Amino acid sequence: MTTAEDAAVDVCVVGGCGRVGLPLGIALASRGLSVLLYDINPAAVDRVNSGTLPFDEPGAAEPLAEAIAAGRLRASTAPESVGLADALVVVVGTPVDEHLNPDLGAVPRAIERGVPHMRDGQLVVLRSTVYPGVTALTEKLLSGWGLDVDVAFCPERIAEGKAMTELFTLPQMVAARKPQAGDRAEKLFRNLTDSIIRLEPEEAELAKLFTNTWRYLKFAAANQFWMMANDFGLDYERIRHAITTDYPRAADLPMPGFAAGPCLLKDTMQLAAFNGNNFVLGHSAMLINEGLPLYLVSRLEERFPLADLTVGVLGMAFKGGSDDPRDSLAYKLRKLLIIKARDVLCTDEHVRDDRFLPLDEVLEKADVLVIASPHKEYAALATDKPVIDMWGLTGQGVLV
């Protein structure tokens, strides 16, 4: 097992080898801070310590290798790591449970593992998206464990694939109940950006949930519009182009597509739970976005004799250009097609999975193709077979 070294560091990132924690650690190290990444995944820790990214993140590979070589960045599976830093930044997943309720204990559990090694005077920064009130709960628990520490909530807002740009360009929300805690957190993040927005913890908790839910609602509107146009045999992209061209008030109308991944649906559910499940708009968005794979399959059944055909699913990541398959609706589409079609073949240009076939083989064997993730590699497919492209990626305007 990898063990923590005894040398003190400026920052320890808890959950530091994941898709949010690692870019943050690399960014802080690139600004001269000494950073220790604490993670319970030994394989990821070993890869990071070898100077290798455990996942794709454009612009991160070179500064990672440089920081490791310079000794400004290292990773460990040892819980003692949390006691070596002046500041702890907690970046862990915040899932919903098996009953689709927010898991309020994810962040406190991550912190509790390190409590025996923590010390008075540390700064504890919560960076995960949390259910409103978790910052206050964390403060209460840390005090109950006999620790005199400063607590701040400073949510991440990066888009996967753009972390090494957005960490330095997006405003950073800093929220704390005590002015000293807020000042210390602000000083930490001013290593990355001079754009700091101060809030109360509960304001910042809602701000992060509102942000992700707003994106989810916009995608739901686009998906509903696309289904409406499609049902009448009309090309949504032509309509959208007419709406958005030189018309700034509609410039943010997105293309349709699977709205998935580890944040948007989950955070919409957390916001609904926070409001006593009185969130009609959010629940409607869930029905639309989660129902899109079923709509696709039902329309495919109307157009093709699916039981006699092989369907090729192109792209299994939750978004284009990503190697992250978490909560991708492409897998829901695949399950539905397995029931209806003769065979289903999957491919992806970025996700590593032994079950997937090379693109050329899927293009050869499939009778119908569905683009489930808008990877740029699918924009110019060399095929004369029907391509179902809700993203408008190919420009073929094929309707389902």
Q: Which 3 state secondary structure label does DSSP give 253? A: coil
Q: Are residues 171 and 246 in the same domain?
A: no
Q: Is residue 351 part of a domain?
A: yes
**Residue-level pLDDT at 99:** 60
Q: Are residues 150 and 24 in the same domain?
A: yes
Q: Tally the domains of the chain.
A: 2
Q: Is residue 90 part of a domain?
A: yes
Q: Is residue 335 part of a domain?
A: yes
Q: Are residues 162 and 290 in the same domain?
A: no
Show the CA angle centred on residue 185, arms to residues 115 and 121, nearest 5°. Answer: 40
**Which residues partner with 292 through β-bridges?**
none
Residue partners of 215: CB distance under 8 A and separation at least 6? 259, 264
Interstrand relation of 85-90 and 9-14 (parallel, antiparallel or unpaired):
parallel
Q: Is residue 246 part of a domain?
A: yes
Q: pTM score, two decimals?
A: 0.91
Write the DSSP symbol of residue 116: G
State which residues of the chain have pLDDT below 50: 1-4, 397
Is residue 35 within 8 A of residue 70, CB to CB? The reply is no
Quick one: how far is CA 10 from the chain centroid? 26
Q: Is residue 19 part of a domain?
A: yes
State the angle between helix axes of 329-340 and 280-303 in degrees (0 to 180), rounded to the nearest 10: 40
Dist CA 299 CA 230 (whole Å): 10
Q: Are residues 107 and 63 in the same domain?
A: yes
**Residue-level pLDDT at 112:** 85
Q: Are residues 225 and 187 in the same domain?
A: no
Q: Are residues 261 and 367 in the same domain?
A: yes
Phi/psi of residue 152, nearest 5 degrees: -135, 155
**Residue-level pLDDT at 4:** 47
Q: Are residues 193 and 307 in the same domain?
A: no
Q: Are residues 252 and 105 in the same domain?
A: no
Domain boundary among the residues 170, 199, 228 is at 199
Please give the span between the terminal C-alpha atoms of the chain, in angstroms, as a whole number: 53
Q: Is residue 396 part of a domain?
A: no
Q: What is the largest CA-CA distance in the chain?
A: 68
- Beta carbons within 10 angstroms of residue 109's beta carbon: 11
- Cα–Cα distances in angstroms (integers) from residue 106 to residues 87, 360, 366, in the given order: 20, 42, 43
State the angle between helix axes of 280-303 and 201-231 in degrees (0 to 180), rounded to the nearest 10: 30
Q: Give the residue from 172, 118, 183 showing the smallest Cα distance to 145.
A: 118
Is residue 124 within 8 A of residue 111, CB to CB? The reply is yes
Q: Is residue 319 part of a domain?
A: yes
Q: Is residue 82 part of a domain?
A: yes
**Residue-level pLDDT at 396:** 61
**Residue-level pLDDT at 1:** 41
**Residue-level pLDDT at 345:** 98
**Tokens of residue 166, six digits:** 């957005």
Element (H, E) at 346: strand 343-347
Q: Are residues 241 and 311 in the same domain?
A: yes
Domain boundary among the residues 168, 199, 230 is at 199
Q: Are residues 236 and 356 in the same domain?
A: yes
Q: Are residues 184 and 48 in the same domain?
A: yes
Dist CA 215 CA 264 (whole Å): 7
Dist CA 83 CA 121 (whole Å): 11
Is residue 82 within 8 A of residue 149, CB to CB? The reply is no
Q: Are residues 192 and 229 in the same domain?
A: no
When the pLDDT of each residue in the chain is averaged and rounded to a whole number, the result is: 93
- CATH classification of the domain holding 368: 3.40.50.720
What range defines the domain where residue 367 resides? 220-388
Q: Give the residue from 322, 334, 261, 260 showing the smallest Cα distance to 296.
A: 334
